[in-house]
């Protein structure tokens, strides 16, 4: 991009770029874009097998919003782009294409080397922060126990004891107002919290969290229990069964999707009083249901 800072008419130096994630794949080259949506994020199953995916073709130099699919009009160009994608995929070790989603998170299922493979316990100490998931014991889809030895000062304590979490998911064992608490964040969509009614008294204590998994496949629920010095102080259910069946239930089940689809239908159906010609459209919907303005203004309208 540096060459464009002093020359608005500078030519693009990056002429070719491949894309692939969970079976969705595309190729950009010198203004042309060809690709296929194998499975949108909110869809539970692929639209077709990888070999039968439907490709689209766009000339981004004249069609900035990707509104005019030229795949049927220019099959020769599409074939050229498909061949280029395969060449780039071989070059950058993209093949073989793999459209598995949740299974790919578990090394044992996909044959990926795993530093923690076979481990049933892991001890961490104060200051061990920023550990990636690949170097932390896998406690997903199974019963497990988290035990913490703590020393509570006079006046009580608060804060995180241990967490493996982020904005879009994970879990945390912590003290809130001195009370041992466990929260599970399901994909940023739901949070399940189990909390003791009383704070841990001053002095040394052992706080233990036990999760009894329901079993029966991936992404099922279970019962979480908190103990303080071997005494049960709290129990609750973590019901995350939607994980396995519906990756984005909040998008599928809420009013924003209906409102968006109604809006799109009104402005794209010829004869509608709200119809907007293709040449005048300035926005396209991203795969996560958000609206991106393409031109002339750059803003984002998030339908929450």
- Per-residue pLDDT in tens (0 to 9) along the chain, 304 residues: 777 888 888 888 889 999 998 889 999 999 999 999 998 877 778 999 998 999 999 999 999 899 999 999 999 999 999 999 999 999 998 888 888 776 777 777 777 778 888 888 999 888 888 888 778 888 888 899 999 999 999 999 999 999 988 777 889 999 999 999 999 988 777 889 999 999 999 999 999 999 999 988 777 889 999 999 999 999 999 987 434 333 334 444 456 666 766 777 788 788 888 888 877 765 545 444 444 443 333 333 333 3
Let me know: does 302 contact 288? Beta carbons within 8 Å: no
In DSSP terms, 226 is beta-bridged to 209, 234
Q: Taking the model in full, what pTM does it have? A: 0.56
Let me know: does 251 contact 290? Beta carbons within 8 Å: no
Q: How many CB atoms lie within 10 A of CB 72?
A: 9
Which is nearest to 186 in space by CA: 255, 251, 249? Answer: 249
Calpha distance 242→223 (Å, rounded): 16
What are the structural domains, with CATH classification, of the chain?
2-101 (3.30.1120.10), 139-245 (2.60.120.200), 249-301 (no CATH)
């Amino acid at each position: 991009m540096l060459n464009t800072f002093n020359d608005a008419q500078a030519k693009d130096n990056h002429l070719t770029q491949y894309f692939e994630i969970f079976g969705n794949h595309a190729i950009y080259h010198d203004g042309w874009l060809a690709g296929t949506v194998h499975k949108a994020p909110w869809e539970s199953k692929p639209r077709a097998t990888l070999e039968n995916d439907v490709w689209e073709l766009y000339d981004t130099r004249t069609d900035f919003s990707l509104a005019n699919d030229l795949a049927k009009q220019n099959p020769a160009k599409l074939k050229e782009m498909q061949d280029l994608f395969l060449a780039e995929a071989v070059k950058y070790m993209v093949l073989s294409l793999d459209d598995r989603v949740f299974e790919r998170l578990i090394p044992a299922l996909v044959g990926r080397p795993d530093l923690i493979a076979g481990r049933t316990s892991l001890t961490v100490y104060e200051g061990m922060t920023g550990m990636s998931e690949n170097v932390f014991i896998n406690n997903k889809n199974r019963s497990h126990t988290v035990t913490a030895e703590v020393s509570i000062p006079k006046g009580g304590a608060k804060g995180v004891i241990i967490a493996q979490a982020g904005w879009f998911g994970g879990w945390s064992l912590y003290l809130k107002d001195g009370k041992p608490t466990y929260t599970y964040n399901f994909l940023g969509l739901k949070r399940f919290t189990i909390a003791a009614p009383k704070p841990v008294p001053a002095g040394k204590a052992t706080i233990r969290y036990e999760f009894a998994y329901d079993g029966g496949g991936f992404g099922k629920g279970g019962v979480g229990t908190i103990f303080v010095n071997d005494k049960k102080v709290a129990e609750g259910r973590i019901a995350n069964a939607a994980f396995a069946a519906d990756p984005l239930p909040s998008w599928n089940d809420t009013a924003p999707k209906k409102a968006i689809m109604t809006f799109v239908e009104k402005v794209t159906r010829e004869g509608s009083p709200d119809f907007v010609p293709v040449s005048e459209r300035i926005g396209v919907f991203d795969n996560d249901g958000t609206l991106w303005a393409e031109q002339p203004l750059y803003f984002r309208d998030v339908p929450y």
